[in-house]
Amino acid sequence: MAIYYIDGKFVPAEKAVIPVDDLAILRGIGVFDLLRTYDGRPYFLDAHIDRLETSAQKIGLTLPWSHADIARVVEQTLAKNDIPEANIRIVVTGGSSTDFMTPSGSPRLLVLVSPVPRLPDHWYTKGVKIISWEVERPIPGAKSIDYISASLALKKAAAEGAIEALYIDRNGLALECTTSNIFAFIGDRLVTPGKGILSGVTRKVVLELAQELFAIDLRDISRTELLAADEVFITGTSKGLVPVVKVDDGTIGEAMPGPRTRQLMEAMKKHTEKTN
């Protein structure tokens, strides 16, 4: 049984609860971030806490904990669990509310851990399908706990044999997926949206690695342009770098992971081994 950190206490997962008057429950107010371990150590913990703090700021939550406080709780939670490789979910709730609308108590800090699931090998060797979904994040750049749109999108994706849903805005621009960032090789350049998105930590790592290998453009990508790209891939904490060979009913390139995508996958593998 996993041990969670819940608002100042370490408790077994089955006893992990928060009050029903918390705004996370009543109004969906809260933020979170997700990271994982490699060789038992948190991967880019500081960067994830930085993003958590930014998310909280964007939705008007004042955190009563320092960056170091949160990092210490994460390390302590990991130490209390015997999980070889773990996903770590850091959650900050809106706190209790007497009128069920405005905060009347301090935010709550939760740290939940679970084993990293093994993803299918064919995702990486043969590539995956994603679908497009016309929606926009209400507050770009904030990783809030409100995932209703994402949940609906992923349900639709699963029904169509896809693993992810790509958000398309009102202007037909590709933004990001529900839990991933999107990249495309268009001509001789690696292109990824640079605004109106939640920038992932894995995205930043890929951009750092790619700058030594390819010309990079941070710019808008239309859905039409994406469908005509030579190669497409998505990135995320839990999935790493995954080649995309189909978007909706359109095939990308030769319908198999492209050479430049595979080159970046190898660079990512070496990077995680070196970092840990």
Please tell me the distance from the alpha carbon of residue 223 to that of residue 129, in angstroms, as a whole number: 15
Please tell me the distance from the alpha carbon of residue 252 to that of residue 226, in angstroms, as a whole number: 9
pLDDT digits (tens, 9 = 90+) for 184-223: 999 999 999 999 899 899 999 999 999 999 999 999 999 9
Query: What confidence category does residue 1 fall into, taking pLDDT thresholds of 50, 70 and 90?
Result: confident
Please tell me the distance from the alpha carbon of residue 66 to that of residue 68, in angstroms, as a whole number: 5
**Residue 47 DSSP class:** H
User: Cα separations (Å) of 107 from 44, 77, 125, 185, 236?
Assistant: 24, 19, 43, 42, 27
**Residue 144 DSSP class:** B
Please tell me the distance from the alpha carbon of residue 179 to that of residue 195, in angstroms, as a whole number: 16
> Which of 112, 127, 120 has its CA nearest to residue 73?
112
Per the rule left: phi > 0, alpha: psi between -120 and 50, beta: everything else, 207 is alpha
What are the structural domains of the chain?
3-115 (3.30.470.10), 122-275 (3.20.10.10)
Find out whether 3 and 13 touch, Cβ atoms under 8 Å.
yes
Residue 153 in 3-state DSSP? helix
Residue 85 in 3-state DSSP? coil
Is it the case that residue 229 has pLDDT exceeding 70? yes
12-39 mean pLDDT: 96
pLDDT digits (tens, 9 = 90+) for 95-121: 999 999 988 889 999 999 999 999 999
pLDDT at residue 105, as a whole number = 85
Which pair of structure tokens corresponds to residue 73?
A: 């709780």
pLDDT digits (tens, 9 = 90+) for 34-92: 999 999 999 999 999 999 999 999 999 999 999 999 999 999 999 999 999 999 999 99
Find out whether 94 and 24 touch, Cβ atoms under 8 Å.
yes
13-26 mean pLDDT: 97
